[in-house]
Amino acid sequence: MTKRILIIYILFCCYVFTIKANTETVKDSTAYGQLTITSPFPRVDPILVHLDSLTHDAFSSKNEYFGGLTTNIPAYDPGYSDAVIKKKLEQIPAVFPMTYNSDVKTYVNYFTQVKRGYTSRMLGLCEIYFPMFEEYLDNKKLPTELKYLPIIESAFNPKAQSRVGATGMWQIMYKTGRMLGLNMNSYIDERMDPRRSTEAGINYLEQLYKIYGDWQLALAAYNAGPGNVNKAIANAGGVKNFWAIKRFLPQETQNYVPSFIGMVYAMTYAQEYKIPATKPLFNPNMIDTVMINEKVSLQHISNTIGIDKEELSFLNPSLKLGIIPPSAEGFALRLPIGYIARFETNRTTINNDPSMFLPEPIVVEEVSEPVWTTVTKTITHVVRSGESLSGIAQKYAVNLTDLKKWNHLKSSSLQKGQKLSIKTTEKQKVASAPKVTYTSPTVTTTPPTTKPVSTSVNINTASIPGTFNSTTSTPTTKTIEVWETVPTTKYHIVKSGENLSTIADKYNVSLSQIKSWNKLSSTKIMKGQKLAIKTTTQKKVTKIVPITSASSTSKQVIPSNINTPINVREIENNIPTISSSESLPNTGVKYALHTVLPGETIYTIAKQYNDASVDGIKQFNNMNSTEVKVGTTLRIPIQ
């Protein structure tokens, strides 16, 4: 009996010491009372690890722009008690609840004592970014204190990237960025654009607050996602309070709200802790923008106007490859004011970046193109408990009537374990058809010494304009096989767990396009709903086209812009020449006829024809602007 009591006593002591080690009790003799929070601080805090890595990030540690990281700030502690800190938090004019407890105290100490240099640097950078944040927050009528969030998210680093792929100053995930309307492609990621990402991040915070009606929960959802917050609320018995659900959240999110409150306190009372602002050498008020429509590299701009390429990259962080892509709407390039006049003076030179138009030799390459056929297959489904015939039809995207017909069913009644035959179709590769790809920005203007390449595309080089070996010819016709881009419509059956954003990603289309095609007023969709997806496919067609008379000069020309698949293009000869006998031969200018397809611009069309001159296309077609309309036929000079 005595041994049993002794063992129980020892276990009880161990339990008491464990609780004491993991509990921080904040006592004060004033009216603020006693705070007791059982919330052990982790040895490895994901928030602090993330911020520490950003401190030494190659982008954010550039002395030229930020003035460097201040590390020699003398230590200073005003000796405030917990009651004083709690009162100071309450005095901050904030809508966001400035709770004070042991978790928040840890981050107050971290930002005011341990990382004084980091806080000093953030004080300097806030002079650059806070005016922009405050403008967007004021337009949305949201709490101004949310401007501190990018400090916790990215340390004001527009190129910051987390281990899970969250990118930019506001740490936005790819799918969230697409949902918020950000432009992300091979050249540009607007999550790294300070202005566009700020607009998107604040819009997202507004959406989350509308869901929870609580700013602490909205911040938790911004970090962990609404799904994790909803699970934590359910596990906590349905209570909607961050501190009540905190232990059910991911480790990083548990510390997210406390670190935010700690940073707001440190930034607000930095002077009382004798933390100065490290002034960045970069002055945001001395920056302006210029619009660029052409494909240009930052290196070319740097070489032309004499600005440092790294400074250009710093001012334009959304350019992933250091290349501005061609676009009709243009790209707003940020430049120091001192370089604006020099840029405008050299705009023509800048727009013609030679590195974007490097000549390449003709490459004739035979590749295999798969041929597909549709195969009908029958699969067997075993009925489970609770399943219905309509539910099974939706699962396999088949018609309920067909399902009953395949299984000789007179009613919709089913039994558990019953086997149903379901006919589905799938594509299978049955053969390969060779095709030929030509790539070259030049045109051969001398007769070939070898026999022309024979391919299954059946392009007769003797019938292509400009390949005549006689001195004259009479009007006739020629037959040419080409690949024509044909618009088609696919239908997608919404499955469980899918949303409009994931479906848009699957088919490589935009969210707004799907909404337009299906006349949707919102992004809400239901399981089993049928959505129309418009796309294009390639169809091989035979065309008979006229041939005009050739000139008296014999030439053999192999157009290097014939590609497979290809839009409908007919190569013609002997149209009236442009008035420049020195730049063009007397035989006339060779050109292609191109029908504008959906999504094409004059710049993408010029690129298809070996980077043809945009100005030349405009002149050939009497165009006053670069706008092109779908269905219009353009003459593209190829010589």
Residue 545: which residues within 8 A CB-CB, separation 6 or more?
477, 478, 480, 570
The pair of structure tokens assigned to 121 is: 């640097």
The pair of structure tokens assigned to 525 is: 């969709």
The pair of structure tokens assigned to 522 is: 């919102």
Q: Which of the residues 145, 153, 199, 570 is marked catalytic?
A: 153
Helix then strand then coil, % of the chain, to nearest 5: 40, 20, 40
The values of phi and psi at residue 538, to 5°, are -105, 130
Omega before 565 within 30 of 0, i.e. cis: yes
The pair of structure tokens assigned to 123 is: 């004080």
- CA–CA gap between residue 336 and residue 220 (Å, rounded): 38
Q: Is 153 a catalytic residue?
A: yes
The pair of structure tokens assigned to 91 is: 């005095």
- CA–CA gap between residue 399 and residue 406 (Å, rounded): 11
Contact in structure between 143 and 96 (CB atoms under 8 Å)? yes
- CA–CA gap between residue 578 and residue 342 (Å, rounded): 33
427: three-class secondary structure by DSSP: strand
| CB atoms near residue 302 (< 10 Å) | 17
Angle between helices 256-268 and 82-91 in degrees, nearest 10: 80
206: three-class secondary structure by DSSP: helix
The pair of structure tokens assigned to 265 is: 């306190």
Contact in structure between 124 and 69 (CB atoms under 8 Å)? no
| CB atoms near residue 122 (< 10 Å) | 26
635: three-class secondary structure by DSSP: strand
Tell the residue number behind the tokens 């006689």, with chain if given: 470
In DSSP notation, 99-122 reads: --SHHHHHHHHIIIIITHHHHHHH
> Considering just the CA atoms, what is the radius of gyration of the chain in Å?
34
188 forms bridges with which residues in the sheet?
319
Contact in structure between 495 and 501 (CB atoms under 8 Å)? no
Contact in structure between 596 and 631 (CB atoms under 8 Å)? yes
- CA–CA gap between residue 91 and residue 272 (Å, rounded): 15
Tell the residue number behind the tokens 């091989």, with chain if given: 540
- CA–CA gap between residue 57 and residue 45 (Å, rounded): 19
First to last CA, the chain: 106
Contact in structure between 594 and 569 (CB atoms under 8 Å)? yes
- CA–CA gap between residue 90 and residue 99 (Å, rounded): 8
Residue 398: which residues within 8 A CB-CB, separation 6 or more?
422, 423, 424
Task: Please name which of 574, 570, 573, 563 lies closest in space to residue 543, comparing C-alpha atoms.
Answer: 570
Contact in structure between 51 and 103 (CB atoms under 8 Å)? no
How many residues are listed for the chain in this entry?
Answer: 639
Residue 619: which residues within 8 A CB-CB, separation 6 or more?
578
Residues identified as active-site: 153
